[in-house]
Structure 1
């Protein structure tokens, strides 16, 4: 039985898939399996995956039935159903792991047996004519364990802290089995449905090691969503409104998170005195964040 199952949804990813696979093969921790879940590719991705499986028996290929529900959430859930590892990690086909990713996070989970999940900062990067690199700052929350439901408020609802990238996590398989996997009705925010479930129930350890790379390119799901108007990273958008509706239903009136949920939903709420007061508070908070970011940049 492998120690870690790495799940990679694959859809027309021939341009980036070889590098993603190589980043797994380069891991200093060697006790893993890589599940490449083909979600209906029409390019050379299936052949690339099959060749990798031929070269290394730790790589497994899975083709989803044509009549199955498709999308990253459904593909990851299909991988979870087949995963044999005690721990689970995710790697999208256009992202990369640093060589010490699995070894470092396995050590952290061993040192923090109460934690169901660990994650840390990710490098966002873009190649080409306008290269760009940025590492998520996580100094305030790093190197400590957070008890539930603190991260639901800080990460999911208020966005005070960065939401972990899918490639940045390592999770105990048993915790996912107990809480359920990704919500398949979402094409955006599907990762945060699982994070919400875990944050609500289990301690989570956050570290400060940058162990993964989140590639920015014009054909990514998020880039397509920005062009279609479904998503804006720093502004209100309808996909987040739908996600927050799901969070409200999932939380089922939990008192400890009621105010944080109300504030998160304020930009999408019906006009009224409460909404106006909440928006004033949110705008002031956003202004404070901008000042803090400017000070950090100046100090650097």
Structure 2
């Protein structure tokens, strides 16, 4: 059995798929399997995947019935059903791993056996006429274990800390089996449904090494959602409101997270005194955060 199962949903990714596969082949840790889950591609992606599988026995293609539910969540869940590794990683077809990704994170999970999940910062990048590079700052929360439900509050609800990219995580497969996989009704925030389940139940280790690359391009799911108004990374939007409704239902009556959840939902709440007070608190918190960032930059 392979040590790590890497799950890659594929949908019309012929421009990027070879590079993603190459980044897996370049791993210093060689005990892995790569599951390429086709989600109904109409370009050359299936042929690229089939050729890769022919060239390396560790690579498998997974076909899904024509009437199967589509979307990244459903494709990843199909991969989870086929996965054989003790650990699971995810790599979208337009993203990349750094060569030390698997080896580094396997060592961290070995050093912290109580952790069900490990992740670190990701490089966001765009090529072309307007190249751009940015690495998520995670130094303040890195190199320590976070016990539940701290990350539900800090990462999922308050967004005080960056949400891990899908390509940035390594998870014990047994933990996913316990909590269930991705919620397939979501086309956005589907990754955070799984993170929420794991953060609520298990300790998670965050490290400070950038081991993955999250490609920005005009045809990505988030870019298309931004064009349609469903998603705005730095503003309120209806996809987050729907996700927070799911979080509220999933959390049930957990009192430890009640206030954090109420504040997260405040921008979408009906008018009233509580909403006004919560929004005032959030504005003050954002202002304080801007001052703190300015002070840190000045000290640097």
Kindly state the Cα deviation for residue 297 of structure 1 after the two structures are TM-superposed.
3.9
Kindly state the Cα deviation for residue 287 of structure 1 after the two structures are TM-superposed.
1.5
**Cα separation, 1, equivalents of 2:297 and 2:95:** 27
Question: For each residue in 1:258-278, what CA deviation from the matched residue of structure 2 results, as whole angstroms up to 9, or x when unmatched?
Answer: 000000000000111111000
Kindly state the Cα deviation for residue 253 of structure 1 after the two structures are TM-superposed.
1.2
**TM-score, length of structure 1 as denominator length:** 0.99
**Cα separation, 1, equivalents of 2:127 and 2:291:** 29
Kindly state the Cα deviation for residue 67 of structure 1 after the two structures are TM-superposed.
0.1
Q: Counterpart of 2:130?
A: 130
Kindly state the Cα deviation for residue 285 of structure 1 after the two structures are TM-superposed.
1.0
SS at match of 2:248: helix
Kindly state the Cα deviation for residue 64 of structure 1 after the two structures are TM-superposed.
1.4
Kindly state the Cα deviation for residue 20 of structure 1 after the two structures are TM-superposed.
0.1
Q: Counterpart of 1:195?
A: 195
Question: For each residue in 1:22-64, what CA deviation from the matched residue of structure 2 results, as whole angstroms up to 9, or x when unmatched?
Answer: 0000000000000000000000000000010011000000111
SS at match of 2:296: helix
Question: For each residue in 1:183-212, what CA deviation from the matched residue of structure 2 results, as whole angstroms up to 9, or x when unmatched?
Answer: 000000000000000000000000001000
User: Which blocks of at least 5 consecutive residues in structure 1 are unaligned?
Assistant: none
Kindly state the Cα deviation for residue 298 of structure 1 after the two structures are TM-superposed.
4.2
**Cα separation, 2, equivalents of 1:220 and 1:55:** 28
SS at match of 2:140: coil
Kindly state the Cα deviation for residue 299 of structure 1 after the two structures are TM-superposed.
4.4
SS at match of 2:271: coil
Higher mean C-alpha displacement, 281-290 vs 117-126 = 281-290
**TM-score, length of structure 2 as denominator length:** 0.99
**Cα separation, 1, equivalents of 2:293 and 2:3:** 39
**Cα separation, 1, equivalents of 2:62 and 2:82:** 9
Kindly state the Cα deviation for residue 290 of structure 1 after the two structures are TM-superposed.
2.2
**Cα separation, 1, equivalents of 2:95 and 2:290:** 29
SS at match of 2:141: coil
Q: Counterpart of 2:226?
A: 226
Q: 1:227 to 1:197 in 2, by over 3 A?
A: same
**Cα separation, 2, equivalents of 1:26 and 1:43:** 25
SS at match of 2:287: helix
What root-mean-square deviation, in Å, do the aligned CA atoms of Structure 1 and Structure 2 show? 0.8
**Cα separation, 2, equivalents of 1:70 and 1:295:** 46
Kindly state the Cα deviation for residue 289 of structure 1 after the two structures are TM-superposed.
2.0
**Cα separation, 2, equivalents of 1:97 and 1:222:** 20
